[in-house]
Structure 1
Amino acid sequence: MGEGYHNGDFNEVRKKAERFGSVFNVQGADAFNMFISNAGLEEVPLGGCSFTWCHKSANKMSKLDLFLISESLLSLCPNISAVSSDRYLSDHRSILMRESYYDYGHVPFRFFHYWFDMTVYFSVPLYESLCTSNNMRKLKVDLAELDVVIDKGDEDVVNKRTNVVRSLRELEKLQSVEVAQKAKIKWAIEGDENSKYYHGILNKKRSQLAIRGILIDGNWTESPNLVKSEFLSHFKKRFDQPQETRLQLDMNFLNILNSDQQADLECEVTKDEIKRAV
C-alpha cells in the first residue's frame, strides 16, 4: 500500500515512531489501525530505511508506503517481506515485496515444558521419543499393519492395537502442546486440537521476529555471513574486555588493614548487626 497521488493523498501512519518532524495524528492512526484489524490484514515487515517519504527540505519524514496482506497469506508464507529502495530525485522510496529465505545456521537448543509431561510409551531412548514426527509415522505404520492382521481374523493383537492407538493420541496431544508453547498462547484458549490457530500464530511470530537484513553504514545488507559478522562485532565491542590501560596507583599507604580487619570486612552481615544498626 503506497501513495502515488498528489491531490487528496492518504498520508496517515500507524504509530508515532513513523513520523519525524511533523505532528502525529492519534485519532487518524487509531482509525487506520482499526480498519486494518477489521479487514483481517497484516503489515508486511519492511527492511531498509524506516521512512519511505521525505520532504524536499529533509526536515520532515514519514512511513507512508507499506504492504498489507491477509492473515491467511502471511500464515502460509511467513517468509514474505518488503524492502525499501533509494529515493534518488523522488520524495518517495519505492518498496518491493518478495519471499526470501535466509539460513543463519543452527538455532540454539531449547527445552520445552511439555517434555515433562511425556509418558514413556515407546521402547526407545528419550531423545528418540522427542522426535514426534518420526514416531507418529512409525505408529501409523504399526496401526495399519495391525488392522490387516485383525481383518484376517486374528484377535490376539487387539490389545496391542489399543496400546498403539493410545500412544498415537498421546503423541498428537503432546504435539499440540508443543505448538501452543511455541506460539506462547494458552492451550485452553482455542480448544485442545485447534492446531491451525496455533500454526497461524506461530508463523506470524516467526515472520515478525525473523532477521532479514540490517543496515551497515547506511546500506541494506542481507547476506547471512555479513549479518552474523556485524552482530558479532557489535556485541563484542560492548562486552569484550576494554583494551585501554587503566589507571594504576603506585604509592605506599600509611594505614593498612591487618588480616583480622580484612576478614571482618569480608564476612557476611549477621541479623544482630542489622538489628543494632536499625
Structure 2
Amino acid sequence: MCTEGKQDEVKNLIKDERLCICAVLETHLKAHNIDKACKYVFRRWHWRSNIRNSPNSCRIILGWNNDIIKVTPIHEDKQVMFCLFELRDKPVSWFGSCVYASNNGRGRRKLWRELEIQSNITKNRPWIIFGDFTVTRRLNEHTAGGSFLTDEMHEFNDCVNKIEVDDIGSSGFHYTWTRSLKNPNCGILKKLDRILINEEFLTQFPQAYGRFLLYVISDHSPAVLGITKSQDAQKKSFRFMNYIAYKDGFRELVNEEWSKNIHGYAMFRVVKKLENLKKGLKSLNWKNGNLHEKVEALKADLKEIQKKVDDDPYEGALRKKATEVLEEYENAKMDELRLLYQKAKIDWLIDGDKNTKYFHSILKSRKHKSRVESICDENGNRYFDEQVAEQCVRHFQQFLGVADNTRPVEELGKYIF
C-alpha cells in the first residue's frame, strides 16, 4: 500500500466487494505515511496498525466501518492482531486474528505459541484466523514442492490441530501467492494465505464462505470472507443408512422385494427392485426415530434405573429391568456410531472409539466445504445463493438442448436405403 496504484486497488476492493472490515498486510508503509494512506483508502472508517511492534515498516493495517462493526483490540505484536468484533445492530460477536507470519521458522514458532494462547481465550466462542502464514500445509499447495512435509509444515499443522481450526470452504484461486507476476519464466506458486475457523464460528455462521480473487497487481490473492442468509431446506434424496442392515426385519424385507417378479431387461429389473425397497427401508429407519435423541433418553433411563437398583439391590424385577435398558442403550449407541461412521466417511478409527464430538466436528466441516456458494458463467458473471441452481439448469439446457419436434422413424422409411 506504499503506492497510489496499490491504494486505489484496496479502495476499489472495499467498494466492489462491499466490505465492512479490511486487513492489509505487508504494507511497506513508514510511520509518517500511515495516517495519510489510511485516510485516503479507508475514508470515514476507523483503522489500526501494528507499527509500534514493527517500527521499520508497518506489517498489518486493519480498517473497519465503525457504523456497522465495533472492534476491540485485545493483543497485537509483529505477526498478529487479535481483536473482538461485534455487530452494532445485533447481539453477534466473534474473535478474529489477523496474521502476517514471519518469513523464518524461529519467528513463526512465536506466532504458533501466541495462537495457542489466544485459543484459550476464545474457548467456546467463534474465532476466525486469516492472513498470510508464509508456509504451506500440504504437498499440493506448492508447485515446486517435494515429496514429503518439511519440519515447518509439520509445526504449522501441529498448531492448527492443537487450536482446533480448519480451512473455511472457499472458491477461486487455489494458489494464493506467486513469486513474480512480471517474470513469465517464474512458475512458482504457493497457497500461503488462508481463512481458518473453529467449530463455534461454523455453528454461528453456517453459510460463511471464502473467495480468493485475482492477483491483479499484488503477488498475493485477495481473500474475501462472505456470510450469506440461510437458504430454504431442499428436499433430500434417498440415502441408505448402513446401520439398518443390522436391524431385525431387514433381511426379510430385502428377500420379499427381491423375490417379486418384474418383467423387463435385467438392469431395469434391478433398478425397479431397488426403487421398491426405498419405502420399506425408510419405514425401518423412521421406526428407530432420531438416534441421537434415543441414545440420550436411554442413557437417562439407565441412570435412573441403576440408582433404584442401588437403593433396593434385592429387588429382582429392578435388576432385570436395568439389564434390559442397558442392552437397549448399547444397541442404540452402536447404531449411532455406525451412522456417524457413514456420515463422516471415516473408516480408520477402531470400533471402540466413541468420540462423537469429534465425529460431529468432522461432519460440520465436510458439509460446509461441499457447498457451492457461487458460480461463474461463460461470460465471467458471478452468481450467488439461489441463482447458483438457476444458472446450473440454464447451462445444461444450453449444453444438452431442449425437447424438439420429431417425426416417427416409419415416416422416414422411404428416405432410408
Report the TM-score, using the length of structure 2 for normalisation.
Answer: 0.44
Query: What letter is aligned with 2:169?
Result: P
Describe the SS at the equivalent of 1:67: strand
In the alignment, the residues of structure 1 paired with residue 141 and residue 403 of structure 2 have an alpha-carbon distance, to the nearest angstrom, of 37
Counterpart residue type for residue 26 of structure 1: G
Partner Cα distance (1:206, 1:92) in 2 = 28
* Change in CA separation of 1:45 and 1:137 when aligned onto 2, cut-off 3 Å: closer
2:341 aligns with: 180
Rounded to whole Å, the distance in 2 between the matches of 1:204 and 1:158 is 43
2:244 is matched with 115
1:159-217 Cα deviation digits (max 9, x unpaired): 22321221112101110111111122226437332323433433332233222222344
Mapped to 2, the partners of 1:220 and 1:144 lie a distance apart of 55
SS of the counterpart of 1:40?
Answer: helix
Deviation at 1:67, TM superposition (A): 1.5
Structure 2: gaps (5+ residues): 1-22, 29-56, 58-101, 104-132, 250-282
Q: 2:233 matched to 1:105?
A: yes
| Superposed displacement of residue 90, structure 1 | 5.4
Partner residue in 2 for 1:128: 287
Post-superposition offset of 1:145 = 5.7
Between 236-245 and 185-194, report the one with greater CA deviation.
Answer: 236-245
Q: Tell me if 1:139 matches 2:298.
A: yes
Alignment partners' CA distance in 2, 1:58 and 1:89? 13
Match of 1:214 in 2: 375
Contact 1:48–1:220, Cα closer than 8 Å, also in 2: no
Distance, in Å, in 1 between the alignment partners of 2:138 and 2:348 is: 31
Which of 216, 224, 229 aligns to 1:96? It is 224
What amino acid sits opposite 2:170 in the alignment? L
Distance change (3 Å), C-alpha of 1:18 and 1:177: closer
Equivalent residue number for residue 26 of structure 2: 4
Partners of 1:45 and 1:82 within 8 A in 2: yes
Partners of 2:243 and 2:320 lie apart in 1 by 28
Question: What's the offset of the Cα at 1:97?
Answer: 3.4
Contact 1:139 1:164 in 2 (8 A): yes
> Which residue type is aligned with residue 185 of structure 1?
I
Q: What is the Cα deviation at residue 110 of structure 1?
A: 0.8
Counterpart contact for 2:302–2:325, Cα < 8 Å: yes
- Structure 1 pair 3–163 and aligned structure 2 pair: CA distance change class (3 A): same
**For residues 11 and 131 of structure 1, do their structure 2 counterparts lie closer, same or farther at Cα, with a shift above 3 Å needed?**
closer
In the alignment, structure 1 residue 26 sits paired with structure 2 residue 48: no
Cα–Cα, structure 1 residues 200 and 218, in superposed 2: closer, same or farther, change >3 Å? same
Match of 2:193 in 1: 66
Identity %: 21
Q: AA paired with 1:116?
A: A
2:144 partner amino acid: N
Equivalent-residue separation in structure 2 for 1:167 and 1:96 (angstroms): 49
Distance 1:163 1:38, change over 3 A: same
Amino acid paired to 1:131: N
Check the 8 A contact 1:102/1:212 in 2, yes or no: no
Q: How many angstroms apart in 1 are the aligned matches of 2:139 and 2:355?
A: 36
What is residue 226 of structure 1 aligned with on the other side? Answer: 387
Q: 1:139 to 1:195 in 2, by over 3 A?
A: closer
Task: Find the aligned partners of 1:104 and 1:29 in 2 and give their Cα distance.
Answer: 44
Higher strand share goes to which structure? 2
Aligned AA for 2:294? Answer: N
Instruction: Specify the code of the residue in structure 1 equivalent to 2:292.
Output: S
Separation of aligned partners in 2, 1:141 and 1:13: 47
Q: In the TM superposition, what is the alpha-carbon distance from 1:95 to its structure 2 partner?
A: 1.4
Q: Which amino acid aligns with 1:82?
A: G
Change beyond 3 A, Cα 1:239–1:138? farther
Q: Which residue of 301, 317, 320 maps to 1:159?
A: 320
Counterpart code for 1:181: Q
Classify 1:157/1:88 alpha carbon distance in 2 versus 1 (closer, same or farther; 3 Å): same
Equivalent position SS for 1:4: strand
Q: Relative contact order: is structure 1 or structure 2 higher (C-alpha 8 Å, sep ≥ 6)?
A: 1
Amino acid at match of 1:135: K
Distance 1:128 1:168 in 2: 16
Query: What is the one-letter code of the residue matched to 1:112?
Result: M
Paired position in structure 2 for 1:82:
210
Give the alignment partner of residue 167 of structure 2, picking from 27, 37, 43. Answer: 43
How far, CA to CA, are the matches of 2:160 and 2:403 in structure 1? 51
> What corresponds to 2:364 in structure 1?
203
Q: Quick check: 169-178 or 74-83, which moved more? A: 74-83
Q: Distance in 2 between matches of 1:219 and 1:63?
A: 27
Q: CA RMSD in A?
A: 4.7
Q: 1:240 and 1:174, CA in 2 relative to 1: closer, same or farther beyond 3 A?
A: farther
User: Does the 8 A contact of 2:309 with 2:318 survive in 1?
Assistant: yes
Distance 2:392 2:384 in 1: 13
CA contact (8 A) 1:3 1:11 kept: no
